[in-house]
Amino acid sequence: MVLWPPSSRPRHEVVLAANNAPSDNFLTFISTETHKILGKITFDGKDPRGDKIFANGIEQCQWNPRDEKFYLAIPDIGGSNGAVLVISTSAPFHVEKVFKIPTTTGCAGPTGLAIGPNHQIQLGCGGTNALIIDDRSGIIIKTELTEGGADEVWYDPGSNHYYLAHSGSPTATPPTVGRIGVEDTGPPPHEDADLITGVVTVSAGTHSVAADPVHHFVYVPAGRAATICNFGAVTLHGKGCIAVFKSTNNTDDKNCLGPLTPAALHDDSATPFLREHCR
């Protein structure tokens, strides 16, 4: 499901719902006013509205306030590396652009997708690397080495950071541990120290993340095997929990604002993103 950013008012009154069942990958466009279905795109290789794409799975989607289009991560197209799709937000709903992701990037299919500043899109990827691409052309702005294996990603305009949720793999040799990768959007984009590493057991499945841009809390659902769900005498081990972490604000960000300033332009678009002052 796609929701607009907190700093942006509703524009088209449309919600995109994605069904990623392997047998019937499709998108449904629903009116927020009448709750009626306005359109549908099926990725079965035959639907011209879907650019005749045969998708093996559908992943994270977002609405981009800069061009008012939907963006969708497809991890696999017809058995080859996936792409980012740009989709219209009004009828007739259809795929307008396809940004193919080469395997040579180390991104083995995009999974997570977050809209950032300065025409950036953060991609979570299978494989070895994650990517930041340009939302106008799909050109790679940065290859994030060793940040592959992330599922959902999130942009926090309060700290001007991306967060990448790595679930970890208990079957890897050696097993990998769930963690949250952190990337500063810049300019230029650069990696910050991981916010969370080694605190969630490998079977926890830390594959989603969200951040509060005002209070700088980062929320990470942790699975049943997460040892972080034990709080002294209160043991939630075996039940799971939502871990809440405190993010440090980005003190070197030159785009920070005065106290209580709710929004400002910090790229060359006409759409403001929510920002908060540096402490």
Query: What are the pLDDT digits (tens) for 78-99?
Result: 988 999 999 999 999 999 999 9
Residue 123's domain comprises 101-274
Are 99 and 76 in contact by the 8 Å Cβ rule? The answer is no
Are 189 and 183 in contact by the 8 Å Cβ rule? The answer is yes
Q: How far apart are CA 183 and CA 152, in angstroms?
A: 14
Residue 189 lies in a domain: yes
Residue 54 lies in a domain: no
Percent of the chain with pLDDT over 70: 71
Q: How far apart are CA 132 and CA 191, in angstroms?
A: 12
Look at residue 196 in the predicted model and tell me its pLDDT: 59
Highest mean pLDDT among 20-29, 120-129, 193-202: 120-129
Residues pairing with 95 in the sheet = 87
Span of 15-19, 26-30, 269-273 with lowest mean pLDDT: 269-273
Look at residue 200 in the predicted model and tell me its pLDDT: 47
Q: What's the 3-state SS for 112-163?
A: EEEECCCCEEEEEEEECCEEEEECCCCCEEEEECCCCCEEEEEEECCCCEEE
Enter the tokens of residue 197.
Answer: 């590493």
Look at the chain and report how many structural domains it folds into.
1
CATH of the domain at 140: 2.130.10.10
Are 73 and 82 in contact by the 8 Å Cβ rule? The answer is yes
Q: What is the pLDDT of residues 30-77, one digit of tens each?
A: 999 999 999 999 999 999 999 999 999 999 999 998 899 999 999 999
Residue 31 lies in a domain: no
Q: What is the pTM of this model?
A: 0.83
Residue 82 lies in a domain: no
Residue 192 lies in a domain: yes
Q: What is the pLDDT of residues 132-179, one digit of tens each?
A: 999 999 999 999 998 888 889 999 887 888 999 887 655 565 556 677
Residue 134 lies in a domain: yes
Q: How far apart are CA 274 and CA 157, in angstroms?
A: 6
**DSSP 3-state assignment of 51?**
coil
Residue 45 lies in a domain: no
Look at residue 27 in the predicted model and tell me its pLDDT: 97
Look at residue 255 in the predicted model and tell me its pLDDT: 46
Look at residue 125 in the predicted model and tell me its pLDDT: 94
Q: What is the pLDDT of residues 218-271, one digit of tens each?
A: 888 876 666 677 665 555 556 777 888 877 654 444 444 444 334 444 444 444
Q: How far apart are CA 110 and CA 101, in angstroms?
A: 8
**Does 75 sit behind a cis peptide bond, omega within 30 degrees of 0 on the bond before it?**
no
Residue 67 lies in a domain: no
Enter the tokens of residue 169.
Answer: 């793999």
